[in-house]
Structures are given as C-alpha cells and as structure tokens.
Amino acid sequence: MNAVLPGAARRTGIAAVSAGLLLFLATGTELVHQVQRPDGAVTEPALFAVLLSAWTLGTVALMVAVAGVSAATDPSDDRRRVAGGRTSLVGAGLLCAFGLAVLVAGLVSGQPVEASFLLFALGLLLTAVGHTMLALAVRRTGALGRWWLALLFAAAGALAAVLVFSDPWHDLALFTFDAAWFALGARLLTAHLPAAHDENRRVDLWRRPEGSSR
C-alpha cells in the first residue's frame, strides 16, 4: 500500500527538483551552444530569452524549496533556522533579480549590463551563507535525516562559484549546487514510498527518529 506524501513535503520536493533542473538547463545549455559573443553581445535572442527565463523560474522554485525546508525544522532552533532561511531567500531573490536584469537588458539593448553581475555574485554569496546556517539547523533537529548534507553541498557549490570564475570550475560549482537541490527534492518525493520488498516500511525525512539526540 503506497503512502501519500504530506503536502508540504510534496511541494518542497517538486520545487527543489524544478530548481535543480531549470538552473542546470540555463547553465548547461550555454556550454554546448553559445547565445552570446565573448563581449556579451546577444547573438540568438530567442534562445537567450528561453535560457534566462529558465534561470529566473529556477530561482523562484529555489525560494519555494528553501521556504519548505526551513519550515521543516524544529522551532526550538528558531534563530538559526530563521536566519538561514531568510538569508537563503534573499540570496535566491538576488539571483532572480539578476536573471530578470540580464534578460531585459539583453533583449532591449542586445547586451547585458555588467553591473547586473554584482547581483549574481552577492546572491551566490548570501546563498552559501544561508544554506550553511540552514543545513546546521536541519542537522541539529534531524528534520531531513542525513540529507542535511545536500544543503551543505549546495552551499559549497554556491561559494565555489563565487570564488572561481574560470572555466570549467565555475560551471562545475554551479552544477554541484543544482545537483544537490535536485537530489534532495527527489528524495523528498520518494521518502514515503514503501520499499519493493517491504510494503509496510516508511521513511520519513521530516521527523527525527525516536531516541535520536540530533
């Protein structure tokens, strides 16, 4: 008998998977098909718009996922949870603003404004800090089991993407961030499904196991 996923876990899982896929699509496509010249000038406006739209939607999905994970932690660790959640949300908001700014400038003037990349760098930095705090809050409460490490991997990817802009390391750092959220989302969507050999088994990442001190 299949268990029904709680609404919060389902929404968070869908948002996390969507964020990982959309952000990967936006970043990965440009590695195999350039839509801008080295000076930043847009060469394919239609595909450029699709990729930047995917990035922007991915950051919106990221905000939903962050809010869901933050809500899953124990209120007893409220200060760290709130600080990590809000910092992560601000970071994702700046990444969303970056996508919108680049999209509008690229379509209107044919070239993104360089100053908009400050939003990108600051957004990633705040995301790294916020995800680290949120990961520690989740670890303390055991709300996601060992999957708090996915948030830590995402934080590491965001930080590396800020510190290293040379290829291919910058893109690999972004892919690490995307993969971490995709993996966490996929786990949330399957956590309550029984194993094939044990229909009565339930795995609940949202609750701390009984007797656990963390």
CA distance 71 to 87: 14
Burial of 73 from C-beta contacts in 10 A (0-12 / 13-18 / 19+): buried
pLDDT at 48: 93
H or E element at residue 145: none
One-letter amino acid for residue 25 of the chain = L
Question: Which range of residues forms the domain containing residue 17?
Answer: 7-190
Cα separation, 37 vs 16, in Å, equals 32
pLDDT score recorded for residue 200? 40
Q: Tell whether 17 is covered by a domain.
A: yes
Q: By the 8 A CB rule, do 7 and 64 touch?
A: no
Within 10 angstroms of residue 31's Cβ, the number of other Cβ atoms is: 11
**Beta carbons of 186 and 14 less than 8 angstroms apart:** no
The radius of gyration of the chain from alpha carbons, rounded to an integer in Å, stands at 18
**Predicted pLDDT of residue 137:** 87
Please write the tens of the pLDDT for every residue from 107-126: 999 888 888 999 999 999 99
Residue 39 forms part of a structural domain: yes
| In-domain check, residue 197 | no
Q: Is residue 195 situated within a structural domain?
A: no
Q: What is the pLDDT of residue 47?
A: 94
- State pTM to two decimals: 0.84
Please give the pLDDT value at position 78: 73
pLDDT value at residue 184 = 96
Whether 80 is covered by a domain: the verdict is: yes
Which segments in the chain show pLDDT lower than 70? 1-6, 73-77, 192-214
Predicted local distance difference test score (pLDDT) of residue 46: 94
Residue 198 within any structural domain of the chain: no
Whether residue 199 is contained in a domain is answered as no
> Does an H or E element contain 82, and which?
helix 78-109
Q: Is the Cα torsion angle 125, 127, 132, 137 positive or negative in sign?
A: positive
- Can you give the pLDDT at residue 3? 36
64-103 pLDDT tens trace: 999 999 887 655 557 778 899 999 999 999 999 999 999 9
The closest of 162, 138, 159, 161 to 150, measured between CA atoms, is: 138
Number of domains composing the chain: 1
| Cα separation, 176 vs 93, whole angstroms | 20
With respect to residue 204, please indicate whether it lies within any of the assigned structural domains: no
